[in-house]
Amino acid sequence: MSLSKKTESTRTKNALLTDLLKQANQLVDEFERLLSSELDLLKNGQIEGLEAIAEAKHELMDQIGAREGQLIKLFEDTTVNSKVKHLKERLKKCRADNKDNHALVMLELKHSKKSLELLRSVLNMDDLSLYSENGEVEVNREKRKLGSA
């Protein structure tokens, strides 16, 4: 292979690498934005918006997955440059942030389930035992109505 062909091949490879890094960084930018929005929604208890965020994250992961082979080659390259290292660090932070957000979602889900269990148990108290004026146990077959005295 001639020197000019090698130089041209190297330029093409560098251009592809630069383009791939640019695309990957744009995807990571968007993923970081989504994680931040998700955290804000979780902190403010606005769970209604979480479904849209989850869908956007899945779409973004599909886009990243479409470049998986190229990214693996890029990350395995022994001549790693600082831009690739920075991208790896950002991806690690995204993974950690995503795990943290997931833990918050699971905690919120646990609290919601506990609240539902409490409501169900209160609403199903058909045989609530009460003591009468004489100290005898009476069974009250009425359901309690929440929000009323």
Chain segment 92-135, per-residue pLDDT in tens:
999 999 999 999 989 988 888 888 888 777 776 545 555 566 66
Three-state secondary structure string covering 46-111: CHHHHHHHHHHHHHHHHHHHHCHHHHHHHHHCCCCCHHHHHHHHHHHHHHHHHHHHHHHHHHHHHH
In sequence order, what are the residues at sequence separation of 6 or more whose Cβ sits closer than 8 angstroms to the Cβ of residue 21? Answer: 74, 83, 84, 87
For residue 33, give the nearest of 57, 6, 10, 51 by alpha carbon: 57
Least confident of 29-33, 35-39, 68-72, 103-107: 68-72
Q: What is the pLDDT of residues 61-95, one digit of tens each?
A: 999 889 888 888 878 875 668 888 899 899 999 99
pLDDT at position 22 over 70: yes
Amino acid, single-letter form, for residue 47: I
